[in-house]
């Protein structure tokens, strides 16, 4: 029997889509079973959207760019979904989820869907169920899915394992900013946009783009295609159309020569490996013998009487007594 939400999602019902994403994000065991049934029903209707990941340092203008780009795409008749990830407090675990307040115009568009999600404890700048949420959006008929990460950091690379085009935003002061950006993000970027290239910052943005292009030539020397570096401003709209053309052209070329299929296939395998890791972690944490000994061994480690590695091996042995 088909999942009760499936038909509504496939017909583009935004309320049903929101409920579907809430379901796949739930950590309740009963909801996870229902979510798996829903995703199984939606899966044949996915894969037709252009998936774009957007990252960059806090304050570089990710949300502003997404709103400007999203509105432009909506004006062209495209359906645009935005999956925005907000950081969660390490103390309370809560998130502000304020992206809709930063994308007020786009949120009001009939052919747009903006969904903020808490990052939780997930590394990589994305939420734990961003991949599943993306499939829901594709099944609902969205042509473009924009995934906004929390911000450039040491692990801000997970989004690259789930999108077709990975866009890195830099500020006009990128000459200094390049020093603070992790090499992994630069290596994975498919496109780079020097943002806020307007007014007095226009000249600085052009210089930053030239510096970044030189850095990418060195970084990608001998390993194929060098990412393009563009400049643009969400305030004036200059360069935003060129940015979308670069994204669309790259995605179309990858689809035509088979690279997109290979990339998505590899991403699905990585998704499976991540799911195995999560399932094993949950099973380990719920093991009764592990739960019994965890407080005692944690106290031993905290008081300096046992090495963390030793305690971990003891707990794993309890989970796998045959080992």
Residues 251 and 279 in one domain: no
Residues 150 and 277 in one domain: no
Residues 165 and 278 in one domain: no
Structural domain that includes position 56: 45-256
Model-level pTM? 0.87
Q: How many domains does the chain have?
A: 2
Residue 116 φ then ψ, to 5°: -85, 140
Let me know if residue 265 belongs to a domain: no
pLDDT tens for residues 96-128?
444 555 688 999 999 999 998 765 444 444 556
The mean pLDDT of 76-94, rounded to a whole number, is: 69
Strand order in the sheet with 191-194: 112-118, 80-86, 144-148, 50-56, 165-170, 191-194, 228-231
Decide if 191 contacts 246 (C-beta within 8 A).
yes
Let me know if residue 103 belongs to a domain: yes
User: Facing residues of 288 across strands?
Assistant: none
Residues 244 and 185 in one domain: yes
Residues 193 and 160 in one domain: yes
| DSSP label of 55 | E
Let me know if residue 263 belongs to a domain: no
> Of 230, 256, 282, which residue is a domain's last?
256
Domain of 126, CATH number, reads 3.40.50.300
The mean pLDDT of 37-50, rounded to a whole number, is: 95
> Of 231, 256, 281, which residue is a domain's last?
256
Residues 87 and 189 in one domain: yes
Let me know if residue 129 belongs to a domain: yes
Check residues 144 and 212 and name the one with the higher pLDDT.
144
Residues 85 and 140 in one domain: yes
Residue 88, token pair as written in the block? 């969660």
Using DSSP, state whether 83 is helix, strand or coil.
Answer: strand
pLDDT of residue 91: 36
Residues 233 and 284 in one domain: no
Range 152-170 burial, b when 16+ CB lie within 10 A, else e: bbeebbbbbbbbbbbbbbb
């Amino acid at each position: 029997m088909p999942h009760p939400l499936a038909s509504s999602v496939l017909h583009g019902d935004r309320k049903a889509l929101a409920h579907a994403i809430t379901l796949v994000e739930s950590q309740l065991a009963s909801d996870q079973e229902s979510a798996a049934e829903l995703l199984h029903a939606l899966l044949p209707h996915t894969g037709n959207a252009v998936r774009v990941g957007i990252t960059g340092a806090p304050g570089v203008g990710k949300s502003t760019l997404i709103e400007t780009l999203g509105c432009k795409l909506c004006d062209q008749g495209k359906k645009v979904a935005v999956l925005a990830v907000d950081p969660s407090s390490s103390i309370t675990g809560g998130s502000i989820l304020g992206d809709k307040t930063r994308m007020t115009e786009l949120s009001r568009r009939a052919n747009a869907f903006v969904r903020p999600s808490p990052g939780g404890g997930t590394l990589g700048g994305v939420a734990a169920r961003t991949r599943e949420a993306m499939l829901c959006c594709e099944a609902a008929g969205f042509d473009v899915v924009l995934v906004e990460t929390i911000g450039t950091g040491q692990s801000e690379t997970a989004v690259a394992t789930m999108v077709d085009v990975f866009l890195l935003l830099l500020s006009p002061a990128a000459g200094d900013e390049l020093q603070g950006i992790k090499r992994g993000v630069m290596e994975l970027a498919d496109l780079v946009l020097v943002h806020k290239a307007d007014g007095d910052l226009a000249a600085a943005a052009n210089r930053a783009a030239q510096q970044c292009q030189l850095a990418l030539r060195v970084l990608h020397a001998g390993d194929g295609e060098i990412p393009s570096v563009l400049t643009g401003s969400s305030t004036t709209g200059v360069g935003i159309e060129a940015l979308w053309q670069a994204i669309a052209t790259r995605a179309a070329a990858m689809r035509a020569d088979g690279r997109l299929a290979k990339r998505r296939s590899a991403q699905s395998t990585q998704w499976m490996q991540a799911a195995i890791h999560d399932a094993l972690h949950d099973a380990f944490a719920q093991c009764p013998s592990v739960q019994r000994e965890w407080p005692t061994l944690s106290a031993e480690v905290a008081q300096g009487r046992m090495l963390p590695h030793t305690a971990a091996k003891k707990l794993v042995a309890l989970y796998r007594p045959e080992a």
